[in-house]
Structure 1
Amino acid sequence: MLDRIWQDVTGTQPPPGQGSVLATALLALALVAVPQAWRLTRHAVTIAHEGAHGVAALLSGRRLAGIRLHSDTSGLTVSKGRRTGPGMAATAFAGYVGPALLGLGAAFLLRERHALAVLWLAVLLLGLLLLQIRNFYGLYVVLVAGLAVLAVSWWGSTMVQSLAAYATAWFLLLAAPRPVLELQGARRRGRARDSDADLLARLTRLPGLVWVGLFLLVTVGCLVVGARWLWTGA
């Protein structure tokens, strides 16, 4: 079993045609743009958002105390350590840019024809995230996502696996800017005073709007670069 997984991760798979790549992009766009779909698919963005907070906390020397995911698509990552300084700032910054960076990484692997590596890495990351979840709904959401990706990785045909990997990359890239725009809309209405941007404003004395702009710059930049990689890799 482990030998097969290792061969899948290190091996290459033929990419789908450009027509199929375009179809996965349109599917991902619909999952982001259609309100009824977004209410469900936004959970995937929250998983990536909170996971990115957790990774940044660990890399910056903080102690991760747990992650919660809620049915309204919100989430909370708790880490312990200094309440100020670069580590706290990096942890706060990572959330909104996390999905875009994951999408960019997936696009790079797909450009290099490693579709199965994208899927197995997703299984690994979801498995590690599961260990940090501290509420029942979060366990449910991450477990369902992990089992779905695992099923495609193990039983899917080569074409299904490639299409799933491309759809995942497109979704992360296209979805990442939307929560940033939603954040600024909430801030404008005075409903997000404890947001990551406002926490960064308190930590750095730069206005929250500057941090929202940086979130948007990173997410849109990843979308532009990642889309190019996905299209030229097909």
Structure 2
Amino acid sequence: MVEALLTERPAELAAAGAALVVVLWSLTWRLTRTVVTIAHEGGHAVVAVLVGRGLTGIRLHADTSGVTHSTGAGRGPGVVLMFLAGYVFPPLLGLGGAALVAAGHPDVLLWLGVALLVATLVSVRNLFGAFAVLVTGGVFGGVAWWAPAEWQAGFAAALCWFLLFGGLRAVRELARSRRRRRTRTSDADQLAAITGVPGGLWTGLFGVIGTAALVAAAWIVFV
């Protein structure tokens, strides 16, 4: 199986391997984790707007944390969906991107990323957050505009795997933080307060969705 992948899908396998190294190595993870945070907060923001809440701002911090502020009812299905969206959005974006790359449209993925980042920038309310979104968008746009097609494909594929693996690592960090009682204000805890379902089950659901997205992406790309 491995030999077949190395022979038939070397570029795709290299992209996945590079993304996994970036996520697992603490140094590179600290430097790149903000990209996952942008996707996380973007998920909250998109769903908040879709369910009719008023989006008042996004803040991204240098410690790679973030928060999305919205106005509206404090309970109900819309609030549940909004809090649920954060941890599942990065792997779902990775899955959708993997489908685009596999279909031969990495440039479409990159320009969609730029468009989403521009929309996010409008709602960012702090200097570091604006800087992080601008840098990320600049990298995406630069690759989409100047890079050769094969470099675009490689970068886009690595980005998808980074979101998939990174989304799962973020869930793992959430679970560890909750076990050590370092946080009681996480998305899982907010969902527990709203629904009465324990936060650990919500954390597990985040992980299940992220794992399913990873398996689905692997199926699309390698099978």
TM-score range, shorter chain: over 0.9
| Deviation digits for residues 161-183 of structure 1 (CA, Å, limit 9, x no counterpart) | 11111111111111111111111
Match of residue 195, structure 1, among 178, 186, 206 = 186
Given the alignment of the two structures, is residue 228 of structure 1 paired with residue 219 of structure 2, yes or no? yes
1:96–1:179 Cα contact (<8 Å) kept: yes
1:122 Cα offset (Å): 0.5
| Deviation digits for residues 66-116 of structure 1 (CA, Å, limit 9, x no counterpart) | 000000000010000001111111110000001011001101112221111
Q: How does 1:1-234 map to 2 (within 5 A)?
A: 18-232=9-223
CA distance in 1, matches of 2:19, 2:10: 14
After superposing on structure 2, the runs of 4+ consecutive aligned residues of structure 1 that deviate more than 2 Å are none
| Deviation digits for residues 11-60 of structure 1 (CA, Å, limit 9, x no counterpart) | xxxxxx61111111111001100001110111110000000000010011
1:99–1:173 Cα contact (<8 Å) kept: yes
Question: What TM-score results when the alignment is normalised by the length of structure 1?
Answer: 0.91
1:230 Cα offset (Å): 2.1
| Deviation digits for residues 152-201 of structure 1 (CA, Å, limit 9, x no counterpart) | 10111011111111111111111111111111111111111001001101
SS in 1 for 2:138: helix
CA distance in 2, matches of 1:132, 1:220: 30
CA distance in 1, matches of 2:193, 2:147: 48
SS in 1 for 2:123: coil
CA distance in 1, matches of 2:221, 2:105: 12
1:170–1:227 Cα contact (<8 Å) kept: no
Q: CA RMSD in A?
A: 0.9
CA distance in 1, matches of 2:165, 2:222: 14
Amino acid at match of 2:50: L
CA distance in 1, matches of 2:96, 2:183: 30
Amino acid at match of 2:162: F
1:66–1:78 Cα contact (<8 Å) kept: yes
